[in-house]
């Protein structure tokens, strides 16, 4: 079988995990980029495939694992640059870590109130606090189960350093901030009685809980639709359709915002406002970028009246 010579060059002056670069590898022209990465890793064991970012010499776009040498213009040999992406971690693992934060933090603040709020007189939890605790735990338990058993990820790993950045939103805002504020004496039973808070009414609580349940079930439905959009193993892109998608491109984000909007309506807490503004703003940016990508890819085939994230508005 004929082979071609591929010269691997460092993307920078030196790569600590592959100091003896450049190196020339001989492979059949039908070999995939994945095979090229494995061949490179056999010479530099610390530079495992998930750490490698390969580009054609002089180009910026990374080569995909499923591409072949022939398909990217290396059928007669050529030069490829490699960048070490550093330690990697699986996307699924990252999401599990992110959502684990509130599941660990909220029980501490809820069940150890005498230690955390020791400056205050002993107080009785209100129905509002009990409801917030249950809703928060159910929300992030749902997130964990979806991550483990429903979602698929287009890329297998990300740089390990991103774990801290990505987790801060959940651990600090929906975890530490919301728990610290909402389980405090200010939302206890006596405090609500003193200010005749509407959350003393079961009707008030159940109205917002009903909206929350609707939003969560709708969010799951859209996640299920996206998860089953294409056959197993396929990377072909499809236009999502069905419940929620007739109105917006990303109803999963809309229903997520609606669920936390229900928590905000229930509590009227500034802590929830902060979390919702940061999270909602981030999801709006993501939705806008992905919506534009959909329109670039599908052109006139993409539904023209479909908004981005907020029905009839944006």
What's the average model confidence in pLDDT over 10-35?
A: 93
* Confidence label for 153 from pLDDT (cuts 50, 70 and 90): confident
User: Could you read off the pLDDT of 238-250 as tens digits, one per residue?
Assistant: 999 999 999 999 9
Task: Provide the pLDDT for residue 230.
Answer: 87
What's the average model confidence in pLDDT over 165-188?
A: 96
What's the average model confidence in pLDDT over 178-183?
A: 98
pTM of the model: 0.89
* Confidence label for 228 from pLDDT (cuts 50, 70 and 90): very high
Which domains can be identified in the chain, with CATH numbers?
A: 4-86 (3.10.20.90), 89-301 (no CATH)
What's the average model confidence in pLDDT over 184-203?
A: 97
Mean pLDDT of the chain: 95
- Examine the pLDDT at 155 and tell me if it is beyond 80: no
Task: Give DSSP secondary structure letters for the chain.
Answer: ---EEEEEEESSS--GGGTT--EEEEE-TT-BHHHHHHHHHHH-TTS-GGGEEEEETT--SBPPTT-BTTTTT-BTBEEEEEEE--SEEEHHHHHHHHHHHHHHHHHHHHH-HHHHTTTSPP-PPPHHHHHHHHHHHHHHHHHHHHHHHT---SSSEEETTHHHHHHHIIIIIIIIIHHHHHTSGGGSHHHHHHTT-GGGSHHHHHHHHHHHHHHHHHHHHHHHHHHTSS-TT--------STTTTTBS-HHHHHHHHHHHHHHHHH--HHHHHHHHHHHHHHHHHHHHHHHHHHHHHGGGS-TT-BSSSTTT-
- Examine the pLDDT at 161 and tell me if it is beyond 90: no
User: Could you read off the pLDDT of 273-298 as tens digits, one per residue?
Assistant: 999 999 999 999 999 999 999 999 99
- Examine the pLDDT at 54 and tell me if it is beyond 80: yes
- Examine the pLDDT at 9 and tell me if it is beyond 90: yes
Task: Provide the pLDDT for residue 129.
Answer: 98
Task: Provide the pLDDT for residue 21.
Answer: 94
Percent of the chain clearing pLDDT 90 (strictly above): 89
- Examine the pLDDT at 188 and tell me if it is beyond 80: yes
User: Could you read off the pLDDT of 90-128 as tens digits, one per residue?
Assistant: 999 999 999 999 999 999 999 999 999 988 888 999 999
* Confidence label for 14 from pLDDT (cuts 50, 70 and 90): confident
Beta strands 23-27 and 4-10: pairing type?
antiparallel
Task: Provide the pLDDT for residue 250.
Answer: 98
β-strand partners of 157:
90
Residue 244, Cβ density class (10 Å: 0-12 exposed, 13-18 middle, ≥19 buried): buried
Task: Provide the pLDDT for residue 281.
Answer: 97
End-to-end CA distance of the chain: 56
Tell which wins on pLDDT, 197 or 159.
197
H or E stretch covering 23: strand 23-27
């Amino acid at each position: 079988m004929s082979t071609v010579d591929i010269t691997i060059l460092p993307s920078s002056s030196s790569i600590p995990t592959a100091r003896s670069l450049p190196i020339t590898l001989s492979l059949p022209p039908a070999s995939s980029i994945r095979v090229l990465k494995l061949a490179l890793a056999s010479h530099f064991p610390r530079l495992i495939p998930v750490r490698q970012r390969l580009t054609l010499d002089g180009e910026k776009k990374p080569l995909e694992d499923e591409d072949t040498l022939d398909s990217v213009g290396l059928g007669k040999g050529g030069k490829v640059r490699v960048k070490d992406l550093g330690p990697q971690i699986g996307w699924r693992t990252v999401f599990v870590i992110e959502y684990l934060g509130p599941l660990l933090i909220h029980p501490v603040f809820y069940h150890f109130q005498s230690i955390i709020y020791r400056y205050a007189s002993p107080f009785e939890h209100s129905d509002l606090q009990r409801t917030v605790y249950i809703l928060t735990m159910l929300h992030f338990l749902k997130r964990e189960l979806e991550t483990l058993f429903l979602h698929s990820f287009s890329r297998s790993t990300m740089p390990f350093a991103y774990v801290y950045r990505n987790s801060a939103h959940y651990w600090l805002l929906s975890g530490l901030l919301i728990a610290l504020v909402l389980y405090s004496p200010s939302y206890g039973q006596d405090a609500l009685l003193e200010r005749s808070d509407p959350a003393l009414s079961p009707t008030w609580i159940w109205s917002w809980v009903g909206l929350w349940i609707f939003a969560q079930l709708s969010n799951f439905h859209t996640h299920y639709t996206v998860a089953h959009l294409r056959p197993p193993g396929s990377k072909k892109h499809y236009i999502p359709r069905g419940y929620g998608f007739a109105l917006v491109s990303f109803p999963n984000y809309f229903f997520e915002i609606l669920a936390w909007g229900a928590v905000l309506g229930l509590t009227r807490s500034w802590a929830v406002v902060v979390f919702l503004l940061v999270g909602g703003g981030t999801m709006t940016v993501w939705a806008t970028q992905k919506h534009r990508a959909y329109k670039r890819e599908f052109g006139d085939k993409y539904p023209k009246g479909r908004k981005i994230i907020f029905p009839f508005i944006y």
